[in-house]
Structure 1
Amino acid sequence: MAQSALLDALVEALRCLPGVGPKSAQRMAYYLLERHRDDALRLSDTLKVAVERIGHCERCRTLSETGLCSVCDDTRRDAGLLCVVESPSHLQVMEQATHFKGVYHVLMGRLSPLDGIGPEELGLDLLEQRLAQGEVRELIMAISPTVEGEVTAHYLGEMAHAHGVRVTRLAQGVPMGGELEYLDSGTLTHAFESRREY
């Protein structure tokens, strides 16, 4: 029996999620349509509202429903400590696993010229402005130690040093080529507290 065109379209739409191949997408589609239609409608409604209302923080670029996210809007945070992370999920990991009370800049990726990701896509003009204001004392790089991460870290280090800002990097416990979001909180806390000059 041939699948309907609409079912094929649903399966294909679900494949946009990371790690979801054709079989997983098909299982999800059948799961939602067979017995969980109320959940499917709630998912659809919530996703639509989230896409319409969630944008980016004007200062750090994380996901936010307001102009400034809750971290940037908190005047008790130390604006002199600026932690650079790759994604909003990395920011969330840092907030949950460490006692960091500074602020963030979210890159939304890593430098990758082959993929067309340059300084503009990472909001480095905004980061440059923050460094030029003179309030930042230390730039903490919490970037995954992949090839692209190392290139990005070097670029950021040069930018910060040009403004006389101290640059540190997460230390022990972060394996080369590893991703921060998969580290346990103990390892990440130790790496954060043992950061070193870059």
Structure 2
Amino acid sequence: MYEGVVQDLIDELGRLPGVGPKSAQRIAFHLLQADPADVRRFAEVLLEVKDKVKFCSICFNVAEDDQCRICRDPRRDPSVLCVVEEYKDVVAIERTREFRGRYHVLGGAISPIDGIGPEQLHIRELLTRLGDGAVTEVILATDPNLEGEATATYLTRMLGPLGLRVTRLASGLPVGGDLEYADEVTLGRAFVGRQTAT
């Protein structure tokens, strides 16, 4: 549609997750109109991220060093391990300020349709981490969708023989939601996880 490098830019931006053709076009034209110093700084940050950021050797969260800041923090409770699918899930949980343990990032969820099995995830490394006996509880914080449920079920079966307390995040109705709009699985979970009214 556009000539040469402009179309190349739109195409590359369109490959980003959550960026459709219209958004890619808007971002491309924003960059074309932006101050060259701002665009140069943006490009340098992208290159620097690819250069400096790696994955934590312990939990597979993003890090600039061999270990992420959470794994290095001596104030974190080493006996509780929260297993998440992606490193963005760590950020979401950290924002709540409710969890003071450590994390393990699987790098995805089991999805046979996408060709992702347990071998493609950091499950072997999780089992190795649990081998030293320091962890007493594993919290499974996978997404409440088909892939997340399959992953949690698989991990529950794998971890059962280790004698650990394996828990799953509660799920149910969102605050401010209407019952009529809740799907059957969410509503069913809300009934199973009901609590005594206080």
Instruction: Please give the alpha-carbon distance, in whole angstroms, between the structure 2 residues aligned to 1:108 and 1:118.
Output: 11
Instruction: Please give the alpha-carbon distance, in whole angstroms, between the structure 2 residues aligned to 1:86 and 1:60.
Output: 11
Instruction: Please give the alpha-carbon distance, in whole angstroms, between the structure 2 residues aligned to 1:90 and 1:11.
Output: 29
Give 1:49's aligned residue: 48
Identity of aligned residues (%): 43
Residues 106 and 174 of structure 1: CA distance in aligned 2, closer, same or farther (over 3 Å): farther
Aligned length: 176
CA-atom RMSD in angstroms: 1.8
Give 1:97's aligned residue: 96
How far has the Cα of 1:36 moved from its partner?
A: 3.7
1:130 counterpart = 2:152: no
Give 2:85's aligned residue: 86
Instruction: Please give the alpha-carbon distance, in whole angstroms, between the structure 1 residues aligned to 2:133 and 2:76.
Output: 16
1:13 counterpart = 2:12: yes
Q: What letter is aligned with 1:13?
A: E
Q: What letter is aligned with 2:44?
A: D
Q: What letter is aligned with 2:99?
A: F
Instruction: Please give the alpha-carbon distance, in whole angstroms, between the structure 2 residues aligned to 1:129 and 1:115.
Output: 26
How far has the Cα of 1:113 moved from its partner?
A: 1.7
Instruction: Please give the alpha-carbon distance, in whole angstroms, between the structure 1 residues aligned to 2:121 and 2:110.
Output: 8
Instruction: Please give the alpha-carbon distance, in whole angstroms, between the structure 2 residues aligned to 1:172 and 1:146.
Output: 11
How far has the Cα of 1:122 moved from its partner?
A: 1.6
1:85-124: per-residue Cα shift (whole Å, max 9, x none)?
1111110111111321110001121111221212232211
Instruction: Please give the alpha-carbon distance, in whole angstroms, between the structure 1 residues aligned to 2:14 and 2:107.
Output: 21
Residues 43 and 174 of structure 1: CA distance in aligned 2, closer, same or farther (over 3 Å): farther
How far has the Cα of 1:174 moved from its partner?
A: 6.2
Instruction: Please give the alpha-carbon distance, in whole angstroms, between the structure 2 residues aligned to 1:105 and 1:121.
Output: 15
How far has the Cα of 1:17 moved from its partner?
A: 1.7
Q: How does 1:10-159 map to 2 (within 5 A)?
A: 10-159=9-158
- Which ranges of structure 1 fall in alignment gaps of 5 or more residues? 176-193
Asked which structure has the greater RCO (Cα within 8 Å, sep 6+), the reply is 1
Residues 174 and 91 of structure 1: CA distance in aligned 2, closer, same or farther (over 3 Å): farther
Residues 20 and 61 of structure 1: CA distance in aligned 2, closer, same or farther (over 3 Å): same
1:113-154: per-residue Cα shift (whole Å, max 9, x none)?
221212232211100101222111011011111000110000
Give 1:191's aligned residue: none
TM-score when normalising by structure 2: 0.83
Contact 1:131 1:165 in 2 (8 A): no
Instruction: Please give the alpha-carbon distance, in whole angstroms, between the structure 1 residues aligned to 2:35 and 2:45.
Output: 15
Instruction: Please give the alpha-carbon distance, in whole angstroms, between the structure 1 residues aligned to 2:58 and 2:173.
Output: 27
- Which ranges of structure 2 fall in alignment gaps of 5 or more residues? 175-192, 194-198
Higher fraction of helix: 2
SS of 2:119's partner is: coil
TM-score when normalising by structure 1: 0.83
Bigger-Rg structure (1/2): 2
